[in-house]
Amino acid sequence: MGRITRIELYRAPMPMKVPFKVAIGTTTISQSLFVRVHSDDGIVGVGEGNIFTPVTGETPDSVWAAAPGLAQALLGSEAHDIAGRAQQMLKLLPNNTTLRSALEIALWDGLGKAGGLPLFALLGGRRRAIVTDNTVGIDTPEMMAERAAGFKARGFRVIKVKLGTDLATDLARMRAIRAAVGAGFPLRIDANQGWSRTVARAALAALPQFAPELVEQPVVKWDVEGLAELRRGSAIPIMADEALFDSHDALRLVAAGACDYFNIKLAKAGGIHMALGINAIGEAAGIACMVGCMTDAGVAIAAAVHLASARENIVFADLDGADMLAVDPVAGGFAYGAGGELWPAEAPGLGVELDAGYLAGLETRVVE
Ligand code: MG
């Protein structure tokens, strides 16, 4: 892959099948930035960043305002030097992880195409299936139980449950869901920072009766000490999500003994380069990883599937974003197998195709 000559930016509001509520916000229209990065050897790499403001602080407007300048800065630089481009973008826009991720994913796609390798192979990994959960957003216990039963009926082997409101209602939700899916069916919980330390302590004491396999981010993201204290007293493994954006966070969490698992998301990490660094720290520390998503369409999901396939230390997947959308503008990248299996594509790069007719209907900026 040669030098970057042209970058196309597409603003993509995508309706959800149903509004998705978590402790820190509700998504009714999912907002992605799609990018196409051209290089002077005729390669075009495709990327996506899905914007969830309560986690990264970026908004659709802020991403749309910042994207042309960042794209401009990349023009003329070597597209294959992804570590260099990631560092360059980090220096220019340190807090715009989703925007940086969209552009960085496109460089990996382009490099795979240039080398004739699917991304999982380019990353030095093998092709394997990773099993994704599907997620039940916050609602009444009855509605959540119905959705959980629906996912089980569709063949999903594990369900993630969003909690993080008042404890009595959260426990009622778990009781209804456990009754609906039956004993032994794998459930995982995500409180999305919704509990105080005191409530989290009570929750972690009460939740073992529902046998969840893990609890994600019980307390506010900056409370690493609280996470460590909760973990010491918990029979349920703890996963860090919002507390973990980059490798520096990963080191801090390891040093504090704050979690059993990492949840890596490309939109938090700013792309695959940083995600690999987080996973390497996790691997060295005996911390297995999940790869998660926002409400991404298929480009960013494909990138996450390739990453997970290529790294054995990534053992969990929460890659249900594209399944939550009412539109499907992306073909390829990954294939669904039985029971929530996701298989990375074998075509070069991500192996995705963005629907040209769909892109033509979007607000567009071209930087060249
Ligand atoms: Mg989470």
Q: Could you tell me if 330 and 322 are in contact, meaning their C-beta atoms sit under 8 angstroms apart?
A: yes
Q: Which tens digit of pLDDT belongs to each residue from 323-368? A: 999 999 999 999 999 999 999 999 999 999 999 999 999 999 999 9
Give the distance (Å) from ligand 1 centre to CA of residue 216.
6
Give the distance (Å) from ligand 1 centre to CA of residue 242.
7
Average pLDDT over residues 25-40: 96
- Between CA 287 and CA 15 the distance in angstroms is 35
The CATH number of the structural domain formed by 121-352 is 3.20.20.120
pTM above 0.95, yes or no: yes
Helix ranges, 138-295 (H): 141-153, 167-181, 197-206, 224-232, 247-256, 266-269, 272-285
For residue 290, list its beta bridge partners.
Answer: 263, 316
- What is the layout of strands, in order, in the sheet containing 363-367? 44-51, 25-39, 4-22, 363-367
pLDDT score, position 1: 85
Length reported for the chain: 368
pLDDT score, position 109: 98
Q: Could you tell me if 304 and 130 are in contact, meaning their C-beta atoms sit under 8 angstroms apart?
A: no
Three-class SS state of 272: helix
Protein residues placing their CB within 5 Å of the ion ligand 1: 190, 216, 241
Domain positions in the chain are: 4-116+356-367, 121-352
pLDDT score, position 195: 98
pLDDT at 28 over 90: yes
pLDDT at 289 over 90: yes
pLDDT at 184 over 90: yes
Query: Is 4-116+356-367 assigned to CATH 3.30.365.10?
Result: no
- Kindly indicate the confidence band of residue 201, based on its pLDDT and cuts at 50, 70 and 90: very high
Show which residues are catalytic. 162, 190, 216, 241, 265
Q: Kindly report the average pLDDT of the chain as a whole number.
A: 97
Give the distance (Å) from ligand 1 centre to CA of residue 119.
25
Give the distance (Å) from ligand 1 centre to CA of residue 16.
18
Q: Which tens digit of pLDDT belongs to each residue from 104-130? A: 999 999 999 999 999 999 999 999 999
Average pLDDT over residues 269-296: 98
Give the distance (Å) from ligand 1 centre to CA of residue 42.
38
